[in-house]
């Protein structure tokens, strides 16, 4: 039986990969810091959980004591993290480092975390220039992409068969950053209307954890030293995502498509990127990867999970209530705006009802 170790594997990507690999007959070990955050179905899936902090240098030799045919690292953020992996790469037939599309820069040096949004002008392929490593902390907007680049370079320079995956906006159950909460919360609050900046045309390519897991399995069977983008086969805009979420939860609302005359803070959902950011996934396809599903087909798992953890008061429900994430919304400005649209002189105030 082939053996896989997934570091930091109780979140969206790790949980999807663990299920995919166990179903394919792998023996899977996942690590994490907090036993309360282990998906309850993990044991039943056949995977094993090991409590191990990725930042503790003593944890890797312990977790890798029996070797691994496949090593997946979902918490490799810096060159130091990558250096810690190097002694174990020779024992793995294939290793996967989860990086990010935030490494890409456009011709003017703009990127996912710059104040001005990037304009790539076409779907972004793996040959797009990247940020340069810097000294900013990896948990900062300035340091996240550069530190990922440093980690990628450290692993690829090792000469071992390491595949760097660059997802975009990840969705999946057990995500610590479930962005769909922005719309799920509005559905649970039975909002009659949803406001969408840029007329709902903003888009930032989603990457289903289920699709990332499918590519991880492909890579396990085809070891190599390479970089691959990974994103859903489609790139829905904000209006489409809002309607997918509402439809799945059996809610109907009026989509209010805002133009530039509307207050700028209104309708700023997490995918509001104009021009849209789209990843080119041709290289993954050419390797033999087949997506698990479209955005609408794969996102329902996260939507159902979000509704469920809120209802049961699971500890992770606190994560989606955190104001750093799309947390408790302030509906007052939305209601004021909707009121001004329907009142005298409301027509032409920058909003337009859509289907």
Binding interface with ligand NAP (CB under 6 A):
8-14, 31-34, 37, 53-55, 74-75, 98, 100, 167, 169-170, 175-177
**Minimal distance in Å, beta carbon 254 to ligand NAP?**
29
Q: How far is the CB of 7 from ligand NAP (least distance, A)?
A: 7
Q: How far is the CB of 91 from ligand NAP (least distance, A)?
A: 20
Of 103 and 258, the one with the shorter C-beta distance to ligand NAP is 103
Nearest approach in angstroms of CB 37 to ligand NAP is 4
Q: Least CB distance from residue 142 to ligand NAP, whole Å? A: 15
Least distance (Å) from ligand NAP to the CB of residue 34? 4
Whole-number minimum distance, CB 170 to ligand NAP, in Å? 4
> In terms of CB distance, is 139 or 261 closer to ligand NAP?
139
Q: 5 or 74: whose CB is closer to ligand NAP?
A: 74
CA distances from 42 to 50, 65, 270, 312 (A): 12, 21, 29, 18
Whichever of 144 and 289 has its CB closer to ligand NAP, that residue is 144
**Residue with smaller CB distance to ligand NAP, 34 or 140:** 34
Choice between 176 and 310, CB closer to ligand NAP: 176
Taking the least distance from each CB to ligand NAP, the nearer of 11 and 291 is 11
């Amino acid at each position: 039986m082939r053996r896989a170790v997934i570091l930091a594997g109780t979140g969206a990507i790790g949980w999807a990969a663990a299920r995919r690999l166990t179903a394919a007959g792998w023996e899977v070990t996942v690590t994490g810091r907090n036993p309360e955050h282990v998906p309850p179905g993990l044991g039943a899936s056949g995977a094993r959980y090991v409590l191990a902090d990725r930042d503790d240098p003593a944890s890797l030799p312990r977790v890798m004591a029996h070797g691994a045919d496949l090593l997946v690292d979902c918490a490799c953020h810096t060159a130091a993290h990558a250096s810690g992996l190097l002694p174990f790469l020779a024992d793995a037939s294939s290793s996967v480092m989860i990086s990010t599309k935030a490494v890409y820069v456009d011709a003017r040096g703009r990127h996912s975390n710059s104040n001005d949004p990037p304009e790539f002008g076409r779907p972004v392929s793996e040959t797009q220039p990247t940020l340069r490593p810097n000294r900013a902390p990896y948990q900062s907007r300035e340091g996240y992409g550069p530190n990922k680049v440093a980690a990628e370079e450290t692993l690829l320079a090792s000469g071992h068969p390491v595949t760097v995956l660059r997802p975009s906006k990840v969705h999946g159950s057990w995500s610590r950053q479930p962005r769909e909460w922005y719309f799920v919360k509005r559905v649970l609050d039975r909002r009659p209307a949803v406001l969408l900046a840029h007329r709902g045309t903003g888009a930032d390519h989603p990457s289903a954890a289920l699709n990332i897991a499918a590519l991880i399995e492909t890579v396990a069977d085809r070891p190599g030293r390479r970089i691959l983008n990974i994103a859903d086969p489609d790139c829905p805009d904000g209006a489409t995502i809002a309607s997918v979420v509402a439809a799945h939860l059996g809610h109907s609302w009026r989509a209010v498509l805002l133009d530039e005359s509307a207050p700028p803070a209104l309708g700023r959902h997490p995918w509001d990127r104009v021009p849209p950011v789209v990843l080119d996934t041709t290289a993954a396809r050419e390797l033999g990867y087949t997506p698990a599903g479209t955005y609408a087909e794969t996102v329902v798992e996260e939507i159902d999970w979000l509704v469920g953890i809120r209802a049961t008061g699971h500890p992770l429900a606190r994560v989606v209530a955190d104001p750093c994430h799309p947390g408790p919304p302030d509906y007052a400005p939305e209601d004021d705006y909707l009121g001004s649209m329907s009142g005298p002189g409301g027509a032409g105030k920058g909003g337009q009802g859509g289907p």
